[in-house]
Amino acid sequence: MKRRDLLHRLVKSLGVIGFSSLPYGLSHLMMPRQVIAGQMHIPLPGAMSDYNKFTAACIGCGLCGEVCPPRCVKFYKNTEGAKANTPYIDPAERGCTLCGKCMTVCPTEALTETPVREVKMGIAQIDRVACYPWVDRGICGACVSICPLGDAAINFEFGNVYRPVVNTACVGCGLCVEVCPEPSLPIRIVDRSEPTVARHGMGVRRKVYQ
């Protein structure tokens, strides 16, 4: 077989493979990010760490949602048992700006005024096999740029000005999740007992406050 014919067949084969994978790639990009990420409910800043105590203390007045400037506070429906009317944040839709107004307005002990850097809503976790800079698919840095706590919470890897690394000062506000451009959301807010780098093959990551 001539070299020209061989190269022609090789290019044709690669073209077929690439074309056949196109629908998968398009479906991945077009799929709503909430569907891929699943529920990611995190507590409000200053919330009681014991969820049962929180639901018992919260009277479902809705004031936290009314004063929230970014409107990130959502509420469980009446059909959801003990959680009914209690607030939560879904950072895949909108993260918390840590303004503290919800803590100030809360009439019960469900939310307590807490210094911003002492808030414990969770901690950001990065999946390095999906994050654009970590898989060399481009430069991003959206998560680093948006963080209200700056380098203390999330910064770039030492010696590499592109790959983000989460630090223990992260309080889990979720703004990094909101701005992440990858539909699969490789950065998520998890329980503070979890590592800041996703461990593959470990099953579903534990949800915060559920």
Q: What is the pLDDT of residues 142-195, one digit of tens each?
A: 999 999 999 999 999 987 778 999 999 999 999 999 999 999 999 999 999 999
* Tens digits of residue pLDDT in 85-111: 999 999 999 999 999 999 999 999 999
CATH numbers and ranges of domains, the chain: 51-114 (3.30.70)
Q: What is the pTM of this model?
A: 0.77
Give dist(CA 106, CA 112) in Å, integer.
Answer: 8
Of the pLDDT bands very low, low, confident and very high (cuts 50, 70, 90), residue 79 is: confident
Question: 166 phi and psi, to 5 degrees?
Answer: -90, 135
Residue 39 binned pLDDT confidence (cut-offs 50, 70, 90): low
